[in-house]
């Protein structure tokens, strides 16, 4: 059990049958009143971010979320297949659970899978991934009246804006947080 006063960003806990990770916490103590603890959390099962309010001294159950490194093998149609490289066990995760992450996964890449009591919660992506540009508009010299960027399509199907100097078949780094161009690889 964890007292809610001791929660910190990154802490995982179980409350009302859901598993949450703490994003931010605020304590509100006024004279003659009990402390109110407001916790901004992300539900690890649904991905929804919301705010929970507790009274100071309340307790929640700590959730031990396990992270396991696995290799992304292939897309089986309605699910993605991952393999544990030490035991060669394979697991499937439905595509609808990985709608954002699928933009950054390429075959044979290593990713961390988060699990809670053998329940698969999702894929933890690195901050940046290296992807190849498969298609991009040609840069027109002097075409910088508004912004010096053009659209590019990456090997995973993700489309994003890149600077004019990026060409087809080039490797670039893409931020997994917002899906934007970061730099050349």
DSSP per residue, 51-95: EEEEETT-EEEE---EEEEEEEEEE-SSEEEEE-TTT--EEEEEG
**Does the pLDDT of residue 148 top 80, yes or no?**
no
Residue 163 is predicted with a pLDDT of 86
Burial class (CB within 10 angstroms; exposed 0-12, middle 13-18, buried 19+) of 151: exposed
SS3 99: coil
**Does the pLDDT of residue 140 top 80, yes or no?**
no
Average pLDDT over residues 157-172: 87
For 67-124, the fitting CATH number among 2.40.50.140, 3.40.50.10800, 3.90.960.10, 3.30.70.270 is: 2.40.50.140
Residue 183 is predicted with a pLDDT of 86
Check: CB of residue 16 under 8 Å from CB of residue 94: no
128-184 falls under which CATH superfamily?
Nucleic acid-binding proteins (2.40.50.140)
Average pLDDT over residues 22-41: 86
Residues of the chain within CATH 2.40.50.140 domain(s) are 67-124, 128-184
User: Is domain 2-62 given the CATH code 2.30.30.30 in the classification?
Assistant: yes
pTM, to two decimals: 0.70
Residue 40 is predicted with a pLDDT of 92
């Amino acid at each position: 059990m964890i007292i809610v006063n001791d929660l910190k960003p990154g802490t995982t806990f179980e409350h009302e049958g859901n598993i949450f990770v703490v994003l931010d916490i605020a304590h509100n103590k006024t004279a003659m009143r009990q402390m109110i603890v407001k916790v901004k959390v992300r539900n690890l099962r649904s991905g929804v971010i919301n705010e929970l309010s507790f009274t100071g001294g309340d307790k929640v159950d700590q959730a031990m979320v396990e992270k396991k490194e696995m290799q992304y093998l292939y897309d089986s149609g309605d699910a993605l297949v991952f393999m544990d490289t030490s035991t060669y066990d394979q697991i499937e995760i439905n595509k609808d659970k990985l709608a954002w992450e699928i933009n950054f996964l390429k075959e044979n890449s290593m990713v961390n899978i988060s699990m809670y009591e053998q329940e698969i919660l999702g894929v933890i992506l690195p901050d940046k991934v290296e992807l190849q540009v498969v298609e991009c508009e040609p840069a027109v010299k002097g075409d910088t009246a508004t912004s010096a960027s053009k659209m590019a399509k990456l090997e995973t199907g993700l489309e994003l804006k890149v600077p004019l100097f990026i060409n087809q078949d080039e490797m670039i780094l893409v931020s997994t947080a917002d899906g934007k161009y970061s730099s050349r690889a």
